[in-house]
Amino acid sequence: MLVFLKLGGSLITDKETPYTPRPEVLADAARQIAAACQETPDLRLVLGHGSGSFGHQAASRYGTRHGVAGPDAWRGFAEVWYQAAALNRLVVEALRAAGLPALALAPVAAATARGGRVRAWNLTPLRAALAAGLLPVIYGDVAFDTRLGGTILSTEDLFVHLAPRLRPQRILLAGREAGVWADYPARTRLLAEITPRTLTAQVAGLRGATGADVTGGMESKVRQMMALIRRLPGLEALIFSGEEGENIRKALRGENPGTLLHR
């Protein structure tokens, strides 16, 4: 069983304080992933993570998501890469400490974009890592773009490109929110599920996010996942809190703590 799991930037960093990781959260997430892998021998996993208060700070300053032109903007492009890679190193260190064979695959080195979307991506190393029983780790990163010069590809952007090619059974998005709220920011009514039929009626509760986020908030995540679910029969996505209890472990084992997106 192939699963994509994203550790959101809001989960693994303090998005209100620039360049501040949450090491205790990283360590706990890694422990849960290791436990789930031991308990589910047929589980194959592609792990992604956001950039949180690392990459988003520099990206907001330079407007990298919307294009890159001129010396200052290209310096900003390099700075976003540096900060995203710095956080990725912390994530990989936590995974290794938990006994997981993590292998970071930087998107900027293999993927190119056109108009802010993945245009091409050499997936041979990622496929080989999965076949070898390793844990490939990708993350929101800069990319050279044939129209914009440069841009930023979020983890969700990467998952959208990967899903039709690798065909995961589940996409798990772990953040700080318990799921998708029907009444954000009041947070009194959590949606148990969202389907293509109910999406329009539920869209009012999808807006809103805290901290700098240049790659889209909850509404963008839900719409991206729902578009994939429409295209790929059998795919489901789960949006849930990675802070509560053993939610990451439960989600990897097939449980649904949070909001389930499905047909």
| Confidence category of residue 125, pLDDT binned at 50, 70, 90 | very high
Mean pLDDT of the chain: 93
The tally of domains found in the chain comes to: 1
SS (H, E, C) 119-130: EEECCHHHHHHH
What CATH number is attached to the domain comprising 197?
3.40.1160.10
Distance CA 207, CA 180 (A): 10
Across the range 154-166, mean pLDDT stands at 97
Lowest mean pLDDT among 60-64, 144-148, 163-167: 60-64
Q: What domain range is 250 assigned to?
A: 2-261
**Can you give the pLDDT at residue 204?**
59
Q: For the chain, give the percent of residues with pLDDT over 90.
A: 84
Enumerate the β-bridge partners of residue 151: 143
Distance CA 81, CA 63 (A): 13
| Confidence category of residue 201, pLDDT binned at 50, 70, 90 | confident
